[in-house]
Structures are given as structure tokens and as C-alpha cells.
Structure 1
């Protein structure tokens, strides 16, 4: 269907019973398949067509290469837009602010489309899955992880926050898991992903060809699409479950439950940093990331999870769009990207040096209403 040099490659595979499987592959392996606006638009357009096509039984979404499904959004391009907004040219400011709003709006629309897709969407989560990649994966009806899956929401290191629906899916995890992952940017593996409800099945990467063969030979029936795919994935998961690597979250659940009981962000941060990580490299790395991360982001994580607990998925995306636009203007996000991705000095000069120093008014501004009633770019989601 499309050129192999395209940033997203699409194909339609004909099954033995005559149905088709829509296959979409993120195709920027050198950039770990990081999402940019052209990729988002291509995916959205094709998914909308496949959703309306009665011959499409399911969608298979994966990433090119063996290193990553998707390492996140193209934050370097976002940085350039934010940098250009500081030129002092008012017209330039408005243009670049609108560019950021446009990116986040269309990204969240795509994520919401996957969450609400009328047909099964299998996401092959091999390798690195971070930020925007997790936004794509979390909406899949059948989310598969492999032995090399490495999942994280590392936004605390760049002064952003876990967006792409994080306010929703981090709240679906066992107690304390979402707060811990959001505050520390900790990396988790396939076992952790299954435990925290970020994935549904474990299938080794070298079984992908066999899985495709099974999908093509299946007896697809219009009223049984979900059940047919679930049965196939269950079979592969059961066959390979013995190869599942050991995780970290479940064995620390009691400690994480106590984290969820902390009544404010300062207490939560203190609780994590005071844990004994002498013989625990995973926890020690998480603590170091939290120490070096943005104190404002820590507040945003705590507050987005508090607010998102009783929100619908659509409401979470609407809240996050406002937060993301505010992050693009405030400067913390820009400084974090500079330190990590541009100058690579890992010496971010955060606005505040500790969570205790962050004024409540600063936190509140990220949740302030930007658009007048009915003018929100994602207002239509609630009607979907």
C-alpha cells in the first residue's frame, strides 16, 4: 500500500477466509520510531479508513527494527518550536504556540481513536516504549510485550508530565504503581507491564512470524473479531509464559501501597527517597532520577492523578491538552529538553530546587482553563 521509505508503512494482508488485517508499522528505526506530526496524521487517516472498511478484521501496529516500538514524541522538534517562541516576535510566538497545540491535539485524538476503535487493535510492544509510544500502546485492545520490552514515562527528566492519557491509565494500576512510575520515570519490563495493566500478553519477539501465520489462517467472523484475536493471543501467551522475566512492581506492592497513602507530593517524594535501595539497582536508579527531575513535574504528576481518578478517558485527554500547552509556554519543559537532548549536559536549571519551593499558584496555572466554553480543541471527544 505504501512506500517502504515512508515514515509509516501500511499494508493489508488477506486472510485465508477472505478478511483483511490492516498492518501499520512506524518506520523511523534510527530515531527509535519517535512520533512526529506527519506520522500521527498518516496513522489517523489510515485507521479511520480501516475502521469503516468491513473487510478489515483487525489492525496490527508495530515498529520497524528490533530496538523500539516507539520511544516517544519528537521532543527535539517541540524544543525548536518553543525556542522560536522566545524570539520576541509576537507573530512568531503565536505561530509556534499553535504548532505545539496542533501536535498535542492531533496526538491525543489519535490515541483516543485507538482506545475507542471499533475493531481489535493488536500492538506489538517490542523494545523501547516510552511517552508517546505508550500513548499508542495503552489504547490497544490486545497489547503484547516481549522479552526486550522496556516501558517508561520519563517526563520528570524533561519537565513535562506523563501525558498521552497517563492521567487515566496510571490510575488503572495497582495502588501506588502509577504514582511511583510517574514520579521516578522508572523503567519496567514485560512482567511489570502485565502486572500494572499496561499489557495483556507476553509473546517472545521471535514468535511474531508464527503469530502472523496464525492470524492469517484464523476463521474470522464479523461478530467474533475480539474473541478470535483473544483466543489466539491466549494460546501464544500460555505457550511462552515460562519465559517471562522477573519484574519489580509486584514484589514491592506493599511498599507501593504505602506510597499511595501519602497525602501530598512532598511526603510522596520523601517516602520514595528514604527507601533503602542499597541492594536494589532498579530502585536506586529511580531515586536518582527523581532527585534530578523537575520539582514542578513532581507536582503535576501528583495533581493529575488526583484529578484524573474520577475522570473519563475523554476528560483526561482534555485536561492534558491544557497542561501540555501550558508546559510549552512555561519554560520548564524547554529547559529539560535542552539539558537532556540538545546540550546533553544533564544539568537542567529547574525553576525551583525542591518540591517544597513550588508555589501552589504555579501548579494551579497548569490546570487553568485556556479555552472558552465549547471551544476546547478536544471538546468533541466527550460526544464520541
Structure 2
């Protein structure tokens, strides 16, 4: 898969400071992240972080359809399907290590990064977006962690950010792959600001005129976005999730996945959004459901760097297990929509399989992400 990150810089009006813009550019695949794109983005962010005159970064996606629809799972499928277990483990370790390093860099970046989440923000795109200091959505935005469809799990920091919002809501989103609109995203905490698509040029112009250095850079950006959001009153989409939040939270309470599963499937569903969420959960990977359940219930207190270390093990082991390969085959390659999951439902899943997925592949010292956060 081809793809690049287009880098541009804008000079500010004071003649001293600059704004950096990194545009994910892989429009034929809704800006899905290739290894080369991740490498390019990571290197550029490191360079900008060390540049004293670069004051703010914007991360966006090319085209109008997507910020980023996820990782390069098609290439992963080719490797999983055609290569040896050793080659698969090596490829996936390299890809996911780089992806998680980049996500972590964004989460801990010293300068403001505005995530302009226009269009589809899913999977690997959520990993980038959720790390940005200023998460902006537009009326066209659609956010989701849909990994249950393909037998993976909510990675890219999902262990962290699905628990940072209301954990019951986070669990529901992970189990159902439900897509939320921009109004919902702001309400539940996946995004902070809702602007119009057509405000983007004005945002660039205003950023160039900011008196950088007069206050903390992140505070200056927040104040600007607050002013711009006040101009958006009538264009906010009708909420989808909010009317059902009490039922969703009640359904996802407790430590019994089987009971939670029954409650989700019993939710009132004359509403199409809720019906879609239930249908996705029912048709999704039972193994994914178990991983997601443990992420939110058992690992919600992990530090961010430890979340990424855990997820690297989960991702590589998922690539070797076969469930992920089968999910991608069914949904994206053959498109028969009938994946042959290893287990029929969450009740049938052998907990020892899940225990194995959570067992680290490396000692602490040898872990590929050992230095993260150190």
C-alpha cells in the first residue's frame, strides 16, 4: 500500500514562530497508516519537538472522507496468510512497535498538537487522534474502535483511553464497535471541540496571528478553539448515544462478561444506531470481546507506557493466533461477511486462550518498548 505524510510549515505573523502541519495522505485507503507513513510522522514530530521556533502542530487527513480509517491491516493479512509464524511475528512486532511509539510521542508531546478529526476516525486513526492535546471534530466526523469486526481488539492505547472516558461507555464502544458522531464524541469525552469544516482556513489564519510566548502554548490554542467553537451553534449533529447512556452504563456494569453480553443484546433497539451496535457485537469475535473486557476491567490502572507494552504483546499474539487473520479475510479480503471465529460466543471461549494472549513475549529488559516513558 502506498501512502505518505505531507509536511508543510506556515510562518507566523511575528516572523519568528512557525506552525507545522502533518497530513496523512493515503486517500485510496481512507488514509490508513502504512509503516512508512508512521516512520515519517514519528521522525517529523521528533524534529519539530526539538525546534524552538515551531510552536504548534496540526495533524489532519488528506481529502474530505477521513482523518484516518486505521492501520495497514491488508498488508498484515498478506504477511499472516503467506509468511511463516516467525516472519509474521517480526513484521507485526516492527509495525506495532513503531505505531505505539508514535502514539505515545503524541500523547506526551511538549507542544500543542491539534487533531483535526474530520470524517472517519477509526482504529489506528483513533490512536493518533486520542493522543493529541486538542481533539477537534466536525459535523462529518465518525469515531469508532471497530476491531471486534476483524478479530483484533481496541489497541493503539485503547486500554488507556477507553478507561479515561466513562469505563462502562468505553467497554460498550469496544465490544460493539459502535460509531459515534461529533456531538456524541464531545459529550462522552473522545473529543473536546466541535468546529465546522469550513472553519479550517480561519483556524490556520488565527494560529498565525497568535502572540506566541505571551502565555502557555496549549492555553493559547485552547482559548482560540473556544472562541471559534462559540460560532458553531446550529450545525451540531443530533446525538445518537446520549439518550441511551443510562442503559448502556447499566448493561456494562460488573465483572461478568456473559451477563454484560446478555444485557447488551437485550437493550431496547427500535433505534437503528443501537440495533447496529448490538448486531456488530453479536457477529463479532468472542475472543476480541474477552480481550476488551479485560482491558477495561483489569488493566485500567496501568500507566500509559505500560498500556502500550501490554498491547504490543496482545497484537503480535493476535496476529499469530489466526482470529485476526480470519477476520480480515472475511471483512476486507474475500468480503463474504461470514468469519469462522474460533469460538461461537463469549460463553464458549476458553479463558486459557485469553490468558495466553496476555502473557508477555519478552522479558522486561528485552521488550521492544522497554524505553517508553523511561
TM-score range, shorter chain: over 0.9
Aligned-pair CA distance for 1:180: 0.6
Partner of 1:103: 95
Aligned-pair CA distance for 1:246: 1.9
2:342 matches 1:377: no
CA distance in 2 between counterparts of 1:46 and 1:14 reads: 17
Segments ≥4 residues shifted beyond 4 Å: none
Tell which deviates more after alignment, 348-357 or 364-373.
364-373
Aligned length: 372
Partner of 2:164: 172
Partner of 1:72: 70
CA distance in 2 between counterparts of 1:287 and 1:66 reads: 29
CA distance in 2 between counterparts of 1:340 and 1:373 reads: 35
Partner of 1:283: 274
2:230 matches 1:238: yes
Partner of 1:56: 54
Q: Is the 8 A contact 1:12 1:22 kept in 2?
A: yes
Unaligned runs of 5+ in 1: 86-91
What whole-Å deviation, never above 9, does each CA across 1:183-220 have from its counterpart, x for those lacking one? 00000000111122111100010111111111111111
Aligned-pair CA distance for 1:222: 7.0
2:130 matches 1:138: yes
2:240 matches 1:248: yes
Secondary structure of the equivalent of 2:234?
helix
Partner of 1:39: 37
Aligned-pair CA distance for 1:256: 2.1
The aligned runs of 1:198-237 (5 Å cut-off) are 198-221=190-213, 223-237=215-229
Among candidates 74, 83, 86, match of residue 94 of structure 1: 86
Unaligned runs of 5+ in 2: none
Partner of 1:14: 11
2:350 matches 1:350: no
CA distance in 1 between counterparts of 2:3 and 2:251 reads: 45
**TM-score with structure 2 setting the length:** 0.97
Q: Is the 8 A contact 2:252 2:264 kept in 1?
A: no
Q: Is the 8 A contact 1:124 1:145 kept in 2?
A: yes
Partner of 1:303: 294
**TM-score with structure 1 setting the length:** 0.95
CA distance in 1 between counterparts of 2:327 and 2:3 reads: 30
What whole-Å deviation, never above 9, does each CA across 1:201-257 have from its counterpart, x for those lacking one? 000101111111111111111752111111111111111143211222322221122
Q: Is the 8 A contact 2:12 2:207 kept in 1?
A: yes
Partner of 1:316: 307
Tell which deviates more after alignment, 15-24 or 171-180.
171-180
Q: Is the 8 A contact 2:3 2:37 kept in 1?
A: no
Aligned-pair CA distance for 1:61: 0.6
